[in-house]
Structure 1
Amino acid sequence: MVLFANGGCCVYCGRESETADHVIPWARQGYDGTDNMVPACKSCNRFKSDRTPAEFVMAKSHPRLWPSPGKPSGSVSLRSFYEEADKECRRTLALIDKVLAEIADETRQQWFLDHFVHLGTVQSRGLESVDWTRAFFCSAVERACAAGWPKKKQPRYRIVRDQIGKVLELIPDEE
């Protein structure tokens, strides 16, 4: 579900997402909830490591704006370096907030549960390949997006074992 947020792109660089990144890293008491995960490419996830988003942006901006120790590139002053890094940090944090709101959308979560919960997680199937996951889910997500997903609520069913011949039963909306 996280991999397909932000159009399936890394929140940090815009390339295709390959992994889910902890916004607040494990090393900083982050956790595995979807409200702490964003899509990322392997390169950005590896470089971000145990940094916060602000630290990541500073580490990424520093070599570009201030390539060698003690010597800014061109006419970059210390003030302009911090202003540029602050602007980039705010842009990144705004995008992370937008993606986290997309992931938290209950209609979107329900759609994923209705369509894919029967498959379990990638780890529970003994598969560790994000490529397999992306290939498997991508066509269903694309078809759903083209159809205006997730506009209408899908009916939910439960397995019924107490009536002979009846396997599924519609779950009422209020339940």
Structure 2
Amino acid sequence: MKLMTPWWVTPCSVTPGQDANPRHWLTATPLTSGLASDGSGNDASMKSALWKSLRFGVAQCRAGEGRLAMGRRRRRFMIWEWLAVLSAGDGSCLYCFSRSQTMDHVIPFSDGGADELKNLLPICRPCNRTKGKKNPVVWHVAMDLCLRWSGTGSLLDGAALGDKSLRELYLLTHQQVLEALDELEEVQAEVNDPGRTAWFRRNFEAYGYPSARFGVPRARAQFDKRIREGRAKGYPTAEEELPELLKQLGIGS
């Protein structure tokens, strides 16, 4: 019996000049061990081989993460970028709804997440520490499936919520994750909005990078009213703001 190699045995990244076709990676993998090509393999050997393949894939991914992290450097974000992210979603942490304090890489930087606005969302520091190097799906599922047991938990029952089984609890958590992703995607779309991004850049780029004298908390407190006004007006373009600016300067009628 011959099986197609699953996706997880392939390396996590392709180096420059390497063939993107995964077939050359599959010539020797743990998947083939314990399986006979003449149809004599049994379920036990197949399962054993698949688990070996999965462990091999995880090891490959971790090795790839290390190489990736070594070749990348985190960049500094300007004050306008900090303000653009922290003020999104009404300025609240997307996970606990307290006031946001820092920016979260939704897909962790160490896992290959982009170091750009499109991968950043507002978060408080306690949630940022707890989330760590996990994406929101892994974080939510891990917490939910670990914290919902009453002391009599088993595969078939014992969850604190309705005495559910592990399967039922997973399906419930799966639905909750989808709902959470809807909220995250909505705020991410706000952060990524080109008109909004242009408004923040135009109004706050001159303040440069955060410093000891003028950091993000001070900038946020100083510009909070201005940001709320800009939001109420739909983050107007430069042309739309020009008449009001001329009026403030006493130019024109």
TM range (shorter): 0.7 to 0.9
Q: Percent same amino acid at aligned positions?
A: 30
Give 2:237's aligned residue. 153
Q: Which has the larger radius of gyration?
A: 2
For residues 97 and 128 of structure 1, what CA distance do their matches in structure 2 show?
A: 31
For residues 168 and 141 of structure 2, what CA distance do their matches in structure 1 show?
A: 13
Give 2:225's aligned residue. 139
- What is the count of residue pairs matched by the alignment? 152
- Deviation per residue, 1:134-163 (Å, 9 max, x gap): 2122121112223x221x31149xxxxxxx
Cα distance, 1:31 vs structure 2: 2.8
Contact 2:110–2:133 (Cα < 8 Å) also in 1 = yes
- Deviation per residue, 1:66-109 (Å, 9 max, x gap): 35575522512112210221112111211121111111111101
Structure 2 residue 111 is the aligned partner of structure 1 residue 24: no
TM-score of the aligned structures, taking structure 2 as reference length:
0.55
For residues 128 and 78 of structure 1, what CA distance do their matches in structure 2 show?
A: 50
For residues 27 and 67 of structure 1, what CA distance do their matches in structure 2 show?
A: 35
Contact 1:18–1:130 (Cα < 8 Å) also in 2 = no
Q: Which has the higher strand share?
A: 1
Q: Which is further off, 76-85 or 61-70?
A: 61-70
Contact 1:65–1:76 (Cα < 8 Å) also in 2 = no
Point out where structure 2 has 5 or more consecutive residues left out of the alignment: 1-83, 241-253
Match of 1:87 among 168, 175, 187: 175
Give 2:159's aligned residue. 72
Give 1:43's aligned residue. 126
Root mean square deviation, CA, Å: 2.2
SS of structure 2 residue aligned to 1:134: helix
For residues 135 and 40 of structure 1, what CA distance do their matches in structure 2 show?
A: 17
SS of structure 2 residue aligned to 1:56: helix
SS of structure 2 residue aligned to 1:21: strand
Structure 2 residue 202 is the aligned partner of structure 1 residue 114: yes
TM-score of the aligned structures, taking structure 1 as reference length:
0.77
Amino acid at match of 1:91: E
Give 1:164's aligned residue. none
For residues 128 and 82 of structure 1, what CA distance do their matches in structure 2 show?
A: 46
Name the CA shift for 1:130/1:43 in 2 (closer, same or farther; >3 Å).
farther
Cα distance, 1:129 vs structure 2: 5.0
Contact 2:145–2:170 (Cα < 8 Å) also in 1 = no
Name the CA shift for 1:155/1:98 in 2 (closer, same or farther; >3 Å).
same
